Chains A and B, each alone.
Chain A
Amino acid sequence: MLIKYVPVLFLLALSIFFAVFVVFLSHLLGPKRVHPVKAAPYECGMISLGPTHQAIPIKYYIIAMLFLVFDLEVVFLYPWAVVFRELGIFGFVEMMIFIFILLLGFIYVWRKGALEWE
């Protein structure tokens, strides 16, 4: 039973060996010329303007959360559209119930004021 997985073990060992070997080789052979710009965390892009660990207004999280909910709705709607004819009236009713429940959620966040930016 387990003998079937021996090739996987070989491949695992081989890939670990190869990765370590290549990194080691480049460390050994590559030229090392360090200067301040190279030693910085990032070599490209803008120089950072200040500390990046800052509190972000909670509003963004709410938007992200709401986006997730309604994005997932679309994720379910596309496959439904593909097999719309085959599923027939059953699928239609089922999806309407699904959309109705999401609609209730939408009314809830709207009335709660989660969609107001200020």
Chain B
Amino acid sequence: MEIFKIQFSAADLKVIAPELVLTIFALFVLILSVFVRRQSRGPLGYTALVGVVIAFFSLFLGIGKEIKAFNGMVTMDPFCLFFKVMFLIVAFLTILASLGYTKREGIDLGEYYVLVLFATVGMMLMASGVNLLIIFLGLEVMSISIYVLAGIMRDDTRSVEAAFKYFLLGAFASAFLLYGIALTYASTGTLDLAGIGEVLTRQAWISSLPIVIIGLALLIIGFGFKIALVPFHMWTPDVYEGAPTSITAFMATGVKAAGFAAFVRVFFYALPNLQAYWTQIMWILAVATMTVGNIIALSQTNIKRMLAYSSIAHAGYIMVAFVAGNELGKSSILFYLLAYVFMNIGAFTVVILLGKKGEENTQLADYAGVGFKHPLLAASMSIFMLSLAGVPPMAGFMAKFYVFSAAVKARYYWLAVIGVLNSAVAAYYYLRVLIYMYFREPERELAVGAFSPSAVLAVIISVWGVLQIGILPSTFLALAQRSVQFLL
């Protein structure tokens, strides 16, 4: 009997160095959390923060030429490097925003930070996996952590409801994805993305076309659920509203970016030969996602719910670039996600700062008069809202500009027109927040406690990110272009 020899070297470990660092820190925080007393839990969050910073520097260990590790399961190319940096930024800002918030809501548990770190590990695996099973593994590590995080406020029925809904629907979507993977394997005989791409360039696969197409559709459903595309978006508003606000920010940016990372890699790396089949589907999904997200967002009065629908709409804009599929399209997906990370986490952090215990002050009416009471915070919120609406010189404008010009270049004129019309509609509900903040008299006192300095820091970093990307976009676009080079 021959035994399958498992071989790996130190070079393999360097490729997944950031994942390893985050895992070690997560385990360390977990053990630490059961040995410290309830009052002295403060350092746990900071330990997790240190872990994220060290993971960032450990990225340099793996940088080199395009290398594959663990028998070609995991890679370290510019594409995954871009996403890994993005996930670490997301984790960093989320933990910064959480430090004061968790204390206020009574969820300052070690497990909170442990699960944030594990979810980040899962996202990184999704971006760096070049084997469908590794991508699925990453997706599950991320999802299971997020299911628990969504329900971590155990006394709040909305939070528990959010976790339960997300878990049931998410498990269902995972099954779709897994079935898609199985059918793809059945028709191509390999799980390796490059291998699948290679098989599909040959003519012989035409005989198994129906299986390939069904597999493709199931993969779209699986990924579409994670990035909240219409019609797989039903869970989004309830989950985003019920989950703790910091976790909502984490989900809206990190989970979405991870979903897109795997989506882009699988479809442009393994299935480009099927582009003729999936472009039509994506076109419809993009239009439906933009339109439904924006139109329902118009009538929302809860700011978290409004941002949930807005995040659906933004997934639609990114899908426009996905449909375009040209060089600018692919790089603008990455650019858009990076810009979205800063503006969205920033907006949610402002919601955290203005809230109070028990998830209060999340109605739009509560924001009346904030512009004069907390001028700097309101100014930051205005920057995020204008950026989400796509007003120059914010990051959101440049992101939309690249996405729509990619669509025009690829001759999808109608798609670009629908996208621009949608942004015009969206301006209404983003600007409404500004109107409440500056032009309405407050109906009641907004008893806001002392601002947590770390969350303020998160807002400052986000403002910096939004302005930096918006005013000097070329460096970031060049980075994004270099990252998608291998997909061409």
Residues of A within 8 A of B (CB): 1, 83, 86-87, 90, 94, 101, 104, 107-108, 111-112
Contacts and interface: CB of A to CB of B under 8 A. Distances in A.
B207 to A, nearest CB: 4
Contact of A108 (B6, B34, B208): B34
A74 to B, nearest CB: 21
B365 interface: no
B3 A107 contact: no
A108 B207 CA distance: 53
12 contacts: A1-B208, A83-B3, A94-B6, A101-B27, A104-B27, A104-B30, A104-B31, A107-B31, A107-B34, A108-B31, A111-B34, A111-B35
Given A1-B208, A86-B3, A112 B34 contact: yes
A112 B207 CA distance: 57
Interface in B207-243: 207-208
Contacts of B3: 83, 86-87
Interface in B33-72: 34-35
Chain A facing B: main interface SS: helix
A108 B28 CA distance: 11
Nearest to A86: B3
Q: How large is the interface on B (under 10, 10 to 19, 20 to 34, 35 or more residues)?
A: under 10
Contacts of A104: 27, 30-31
A111 B208 CA distance: 55
Nearest to A105: B30
A117 to B, nearest CB: 19
Most buried by A among B3, B6, B30, B34: B34
Counting from the closest, the 4 A-B pairs by CB-CB distance are: A111-B34, A1-B207, A86-B3, A104-B27
Nearest to B8: A90
Given A1-B208, A107-B34, 18 more contacts: A1-B207, A83-B3, A86-B3, A87-B3, A87-B6, A90-B6, A94-B6, A101-B27, A104-B27, A104-B30, A104-B31, A107-B31, A108-B30, A108-B31, A108-B34, A111-B34, A111-B35, A112-B34
B158 to A, nearest CB: 21
A112 B114 CA distance: 15
Nearest to B6: A90
B426 to A, nearest CB: 44
Contacts of B30: 104, 108
Contacts of B31: 104, 107-108
A87 B7 CA distance: 10
Contacts of B6: 87, 90, 94
A86 B467 CA distance: 58
A83 B1 CA distance: 11
Contacts of B35: 111
Contacts of A94: 6
Interface in B4-42: 6, 27, 30-31, 34-35
Contacts of B207: 1
